Every structure is written in C-alpha cells, then in structure tokens.
C-alpha cells in the first residue's frame, strides 16, 4: 500500500482529486467506483470545478457506487443515489444513464445484487475505486466479519454504523438497517483503489487497516492484498500509526524518484 500522510482534510481532498483527474485525462472513458459519506464531498467539489474549467470531462465516463440503503427509493433524501446526484452528478457533464447505484427499492434485492456485479463486469471492471472508511474499518457497507472475497450482496449494518449515520435522518424518519453493498472481493477487483480518511475518529480504523493483521475484523485491511492501493490520510487520521515517520520517508523518496524520472 502507498501511504500518503498530509496536513489536513483540504490537502487530502486535493490529492484525491488529482488522482481522479489524472485518470480521466489518461482515459476519458474510465469506469469509476464512487463513494458516499462526508469525506469525499470536497473531492467531488474539486472535480466539479475542474469539469467547469474543462480540465476533465465525464461525457464518456461510467460510474458504479459502492452501496445503497436497502428499502430507500433513489428519490429519498437520504438515499445514496440522491446524495450522488446532489453532490456530483447534477453538476458535471455526465450522462446519468451511465451512473449506477445499487437499487435500494429493487423488487428482488438478491437479483439486483447479481445484476450489479454483472453490470460492473460488462463495463469491463472498475479502473479507479474511491473509498472512505467507517470508524469500525468498514468499506462500502462491508461491516466487520464480511468475507474477504465477498461480492455485491445484502449486508446488515452494525449498531455503530447505524448510530454514526443517524445524524442524517430526522428522529421520526425510518433509518434503514440493511444495505446493498459491493463486496470486498468486488472492491479488490478494481484496478486502482484510493481510500481517503480524515480526523482523529478514523485513527483506530486506519491503524488496523495499515498495520493490523489482514482480518475480516477490519474489512479495510483487505486492501493489504491489493497491488495498487493508495491510503490518503491527514495527520489526525494517521496519529495512531506506529511507523508514521517511515511512511513519510517512503513517500518523500517516491516523489523524488518520480521527479527525477520527469513524471
């Protein structure tokens, strides 16, 4: 894994946006894996600005989101489909038909999961997958104990995740406790993965991801198996890493080498 430790959330978003912009310039027909949560919002704003400046185009891009609440329609204010429309898709030159979010109100959610896998495969797989991380180490909605080779399926949310996400729902509103999520195996199939995390409340999860054993207890630790995973974090999220100076040293050496090679 490449560990990139930056000063704050602003730098993390800009670094992530640079990776996405480079991908879009390299391949304007990219297949992107996208994420929800508060962490990617600043990255999306950056990409919206670059799209307006004509630095990048989404005209020929296809997207697949990680997950959706089971039981919510795409028009529900708290659905991840609504979130993506509001935070990104409504503001860029993408064809909405090319944007995919698991169908929370599918008549048969089991079939919807298999269809989602099929759609990703038919698109040729995901070139670049964006991830956030839950405090318990979940990626997408792959909660602890998720199979490390799992595919898109229905997952029950933990109490901690329901509590963390309760802030988005009003007291009298139904808050789903089930989800459809890409599996860990689905995520690992992406050709490149970028995980963003900021803030001290993610420090334990980041330590378990980077320095913990490969374990279903911390689903994000599965990224240790990925050949092209970048973990982009701020100082606060990095604060519990034992080898923080070493990771900074490696990254400085990497940057030096790239500069020398003119990349």
**Contact residues for ligand GLP, defined by CB under 6 A:** 35-39, 66-67, 132-134, 140-141, 161, 165
Q: Which of 125, 132, 106 is nearest to 232 (CA)?
A: 132
How many angstroms separate the CA atoms of 232 and 223, rounded?
A: 13
- Active-site entry in 46, 67, 68, 234: 67
**Nearer to ligand GLP (CB atom), residue 154 or residue 250:** 154
Q: Residue 209: helix, strand or coil by DSSP?
A: helix
- Active-site entry in 68, 127, 143, 189: 143
**Nearer to ligand GLP (CB atom), residue 39 or residue 99:** 39
Q: Is 138 a catalytic residue?
A: yes
**Nearer to ligand GLP (CB atom), residue 36 or residue 87:** 36
| CA 215 to each of CA 137, 143, 222, 256: distance values in angstroms, whole numbers, following the listed order | 10, 12, 7, 33
- Active-site entry in 136, 142, 189, 226: 136
How many angstroms separate the CA atoms of 242 and 147, rounded?
A: 27
How many angstroms separate the CA atoms of 238 and 56, rounded?
A: 31
Q: Is 82 a catalytic residue?
A: no
Q: Is 249 a catalytic residue?
A: no
Q: Compute the least distance from the CB of residue 190 to ligand GLP, in Å.
A: 14
Q: Compute the least distance from the CB of residue 260 to ligand GLP, in Å.
A: 36
Q: Compute the least distance from the CB of residue 222 to ligand GLP, in Å.
A: 14
How many angstroms separate the CA atoms of 30 and 63, rounded?
A: 8
**Nearer to ligand GLP (CB atom), residue 35 or residue 230:** 35
Q: Compute the least distance from the CB of residue 98 to ligand GLP, in Å.
A: 21
**Nearer to ligand GLP (CB atom), residue 144 or residue 250:** 144
The half-sphere exposure of 178 on its side-chain side, counting CA atoms within 13 A, is: 12
Query: Which H or E run includes 66?
Result: none
Q: Is 136 a catalytic residue?
A: yes
For residue 200, what is the DSSP state? G
- Active-site entry in 46, 127, 138, 165: 138
Q: Compute the least distance from the CB of residue 261 to ligand GLP, in Å.
A: 34
* CA quadruple 60, 130, 47, 88: dihedral, nearest 10: 80
Active site residues: 67, 136, 138, 143
């Amino acid at each position: 894994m490449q560990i990139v430790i930056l000063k704050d959330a602003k730098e993390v978003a800009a670094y992530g946006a640079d990776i996405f912009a480079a991908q879009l310039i390299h391949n304007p027909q990219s297949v992107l894996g996208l994420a929800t949560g508060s962490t990617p919002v600043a990255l999306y704003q950056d990409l919206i600005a670059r799209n307006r400046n004509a630095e990048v185009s989404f005209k020929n891009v296809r997207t697949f989101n990680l997950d959706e609440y089971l039981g919510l329609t795409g028009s529900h204010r708290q659905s991840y489909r609504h979130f993506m429309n509001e935070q990104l898709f409504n503001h860029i030159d993408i064809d909405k038909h090319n944007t995919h979010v698991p169908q929370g109100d599918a008549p048969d959610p089991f079939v919807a999961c298999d269809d989602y896998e099929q759609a990703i495969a038919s698109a040729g797989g995901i070139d670049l997958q964006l991830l956030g991380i839950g405090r318990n180490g979940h990626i997408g909605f792959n909660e602890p104990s998720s199979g490390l080779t799992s595919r898109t399926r229905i997952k029950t949310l933990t109490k901690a995740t329901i509590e963390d996400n309760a802030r988005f729902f009003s007291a009298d509103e139904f808050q789903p406790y089930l989800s459809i999520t890409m599996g860990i195996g689905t995520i690992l199939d992406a050709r490149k993965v970028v995980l963003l995390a900021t803030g001290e409340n993610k420090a334990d999860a980041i330590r378990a991801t980077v320095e913990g054993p490969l374990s279903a207890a911390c689903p994000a630790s599965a990224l240790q198996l990925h050949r092209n995973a970048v973990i982009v974090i701020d100082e606060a999220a990095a604060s519990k890493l034992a080898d923080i100076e070493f990771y900074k040293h490696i990254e400085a050496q990497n940057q030096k080498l790239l500069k020398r090679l003119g990349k």
